[in-house]
Structure 1
Amino acid sequence: MPTLDLYTTDPGDPHWQVPATGKARFSWEYDDGRDRLLALYQKGKDKQWDGQKRIDWDLEVDPHDPLGTPDESISVYGTRYWAKFTDKDKGELRRHLASWQFSQFLHGEQGAMVCAARIVESVPDLDAKLYSATQVMDEARHAEIYGRFLHEKIGMLYPINDNLRSLLGDTLSDSRWDMPYLGMQVLIEGLALAAFGMIRDTTDKPLPKQILAYVMQDEARHVAFGRMALRDYYRQLSDAELREREEFVIEGCHLMRDRLRGVEVLENFGIPKAEAEEYAERSEFLALFRRLLFSRIVPCVKDIGLWGKRLQQAYVDMGVFEMGDSSLDLLMAQDEEIAEKLDAERFAAEERDRVAEVRETIERGRASEAGRRSYTRPHPEEPPEEPIPGEA
């Protein structure tokens, strides 16, 4: 079925055209570049994988409980609307919320693919071009995976959220070559990692857990790439240039904080927009979720050198300032370990199943051979019958 037929509401023009500005930059320096970035480039090549093969797409997904997350995470849980919902209504709401969330992941991954391609085009250094070329393939794979999950397992999509669309548009239309890094690698990717991790660590469903763990393994490299490139470049900028980028970060953080509320889902269930927004703001779970979303962004912004007073105050107002002391390296190492552990557990289970299957086949073969030998074994010759007395 065509994707446009699966959208809950009309997404508008099927092609969104963002005016391109800036310059394509070539580098004639083909010698070795920065060691750390080249090492990341090598890792990007080594860690390529096939989403059709690494993920077990035969796993069943209940469309009315795709993620297995607690109902308390739904902003209308415990309200008068929730009390009126039948079990069928609640199942359909879970389906819509999962569709909405993974649809935003899908649209964001396509945006990341375009931004990575823009970095290849515009960044001046060859080592950065080389790594970002691997990221283009990563993001293409992620878009493929999220699209397949939505098509085959949920059967429904939501249009791109207005706030995500706005941030993507601002990122791609800026002529400065570092802005795709800042908008995508730091803000959008950082927030996506936190959202992925929240679901990965709470879901009890194996298929979405696999998808999120493997995608996060890639995304951790992308954030590391943005940190390396921007940290070096921002050391050279004036205070005025740094303030311009801090303003961009503040506006982007506000947009992203307001993105993950799912108000448009509640509107589809007959809840007025104003009430839906109020429930989202009052939800303790969503408040914690929105706060944790910045666990990857704040330390990265601080690390690359954007830490002026106005930006610090913005993070104080959002209640996330202390996250600047979090260890990004530790978080990324954990993402890597979780994906590798999941692989090890899956392969061990598959190996146990193969061993059991082989043993069962051998036993069946032995039993069959024993039966065949018993059936074909020659019988001893019977003695001739003795004559019955009185017969001639």
Structure 2
Amino acid sequence: MATRNLYAHDPGDQGWTVPATGAARFSWEYGEGREDGSGRDRLLALYQKGKDKQWDAQKRIDWSLPVDPYDPIGEPEESSPLFGTPYWDRMGEKDKGELRHMYAAWQFSQFLHGEQGAMVCAARIVESVPDLDAKFYSATQVMDEARHAELYGRFLREKVGLLYPIDDNLQSLLGDTLRDSRWDMPYLGMQVLIEGLALAAFGMLRDVTDKPLPKQILAYVMQDEARHVAFGRMALRDYYRQLSRAELREREEFVIEGCYLMRDRLRGEVVLTDFGIPYDEAIRLSEDSEYVRIFRKLLFSRIVPCVKDIGLWGERLQRAYVDMGVLELGDASLDLLMAQDEEVAEKLDAQRFAAEEAARKGEVAEAIAAGAGEAAGVAGGGGASGTGEAPGAAAGPQEV
């Protein structure tokens, strides 16, 4: 089913073409690991895990589960920037449902567009990264991101029934990432910033929702994304140790600008303006919402410790994080967060398989019981007639 007629605003006819620069790099080193103690063995192990963890979005997700398009996630009323305002007091349940519908569509649409961007960036990494082991892993990530775009697109088309075009600030960050000719920039822009933001957003919704289908989607996508962020950390941590202070400052400036762009893109004021609220008022309501402020801060919980871990922690970058109120997030344990993401997905699988196995056992027991009942009925009928004929055999002549 085409999505064009499902967009809240016209996304344009020609898609989006980004003039890309940079070099395609080949490597003639095909050996397995190195003797110099480099991180290549770790990348090859991650590549193996990427192969082992491939899955089919058509089969692993239970698409038969129903979704209420006017309450797809089940977020609390406090999550709306209109909550506690006169606008909210005047709204009936129908209007509140429509607002939830539009916000979910906007949010998951940005997830969808971001996943397509991640797929393109991962393909650029395959092309431009110097080492073959990194090419191997990023090739598995291209498939991961294709799967994510597939399932978010299906969720929006079939379950929500509404899409929004890509947010201007997300598009700007993607464009900056793709136009930069340096091979490490798709890592930094996508693996660290955009993927880090997405992981935090997915995790918050995954932990809030009690709706089975979006919970499955978010948990399984996060299991993949944990590997992607680990990949970016490995590659950039080793590479950035070799850069000059000036080169590191250039990357830090990119991170600062990207973080401000992402912070500003999280408002979703287009939903409020579509709801009839003037633009300036929509911005004010989003900025004044306590829930939205907390949400926006927590969205940096995956980015800040990753930036610190890869060695981008200059004074100017730290001042920017102080301004955003997220500096203390640099002390969070990324490894612990990623392990939790893996654990949630595995537990969800175990619960689903246990429930399915119990249901199968119940069906088998019912079938056995039904078969036994039929056999007893046949035996009882045969004994009453005193013949070997079926119970209804004598009815023929009588009917005639």
TM-score (norm 2): 0.94
Deviation at 1:116, TM superposition (A): 0.0
2:135 to 129, 140, 143: 129
Secondary structure in 2 aligned to 1:306? coil
Match of 1:385?
none
In the alignment, does 2:190 pair up with 1:184? yes
Whole-angstrom distance in 2 between the partners of 1:141 and 1:95: 24
Q: 1:37 aligns to what?
A: 43
Match of 2:395 in 1: none
Within 5 Å, which residues of 2 pair with 1:1-392?
1-33=1-33, 34-379=40-385
In 2, Cα distance between the equivalents of 1:86 and 1:145? Answer: 32
Provide the C-alpha distance between the structure 2 equivalents of 1:184 and 1:261, rounded to a whole number of angstroms: 20
Partner letter of residue 315 of structure 2?
Answer: K
Change (3 A) 1:199 1:380: closer
In 1, the alpha carbon distance for the partners of 2:274 and 2:139 equals: 40
**Where do 5+ consecutive residues of structure 1 fail to align?**
382-392
Q: Which of these two proteins has the greater Rg computed from alpha carbons? A: 1
- Counterpart Cα distance in 2 of 1:379 and 1:5: 68
The one-letter code of the counterpart of 2:25 is R
Deviations 1:323-360 (A, max 9, x none): 11100000000000000000000000000000001000
* Deviation, structure 1 residue 13: 3.4
Separation in 1, partners of 2:11, 2:338: 35
Instruction: Look up the equivalent residue of 1:173 and give its one-letter code.
Output: R
- Distance in structure 1 (CA, Å) of the matches to 2:143 and 2:289: 37
Structure 1 residue 304, shift from structure 2 partner: 0.4
SS at match of 1:106: helix
TM-score (norm 1): 0.96
Instruction: State percent identity of aligned pairs.
Output: 77
Shift of 1:29: 0.8
What is the rounded CA distance, in whole Å, between the counterparts of 2:213 and 2:266 in structure 1? 22
Structure 1 residues 20 and 365: CA distance shift in structure 2, 3 A: same
Partners of 1:220 and 1:35 in 2: CA distance? 18
Structure 1 residues 56-77: Cα deviation after superposition (integer angstroms, max 9, x where no partner): 0000001110000101101011
Shift of 1:84: 2.0
Q: Distance in 1 between matches of 2:384 and 2:346?
A: 59
Aligned-pair distance for 1:79? 1.3
**Cα 1:14/1:206, change in 2 over 3 Å:** farther
Distance (Å, rounded) in 2 between the aligned partners of 1:14 and 1:366: 65
Deviations 1:246-268 (A, max 9, x none): 00000000011111111000110
Q: Deviations over 1:20-74 (max 9, x none)?
A: 1010000011112411000000000000000000000000001110000101101
Instruction: Provide the secondary structure at the position in 2 that maps to 1:258.
Output: helix
Give the SS at the match of 2:299: helix
Aligned to 2:392: none
Q: 1:273-301, CA deviations, whole angstroms, 9 ceiling, x for partnerless residues? A: 11111111111111111110111000000
Amino acid across the alignment from 2:31: D
Q: 1:379 to 1:288 in 2, by over 3 A?
A: same
The RMSD of aligned alpha carbons is 1.0
1:70-97: CA deviations, max 9, x gaps?
A: 0110101121211222211111111111
Q: CA deviation at 1:380?
A: 6.7
Structure 1 consecutive aligned stretches of length 4 or more whose deviation exceeds 6 Å: none
Equivalent-residue separation in structure 2 for 1:234 and 1:379 (angstroms) = 91
Instruction: Give the C-alpha shift of residue 378 in structure 1.
Output: 4.8
- SS of aligned partner of 2:265: coil
What is the DSSP-based 3-state SS (H/G/I as helix, E as strand, rest coil) of the residue aligned with 1:295? coil
Aligned-partner residue type, residue 18 of structure 1 = V
2:92 and 2:105 mapped to 1: Cα distance? 20
The answer for the alignment partner of 2:396 in structure 1 is none
Aligned equivalents of 1:63 and 1:322: distance in 2?
Answer: 37
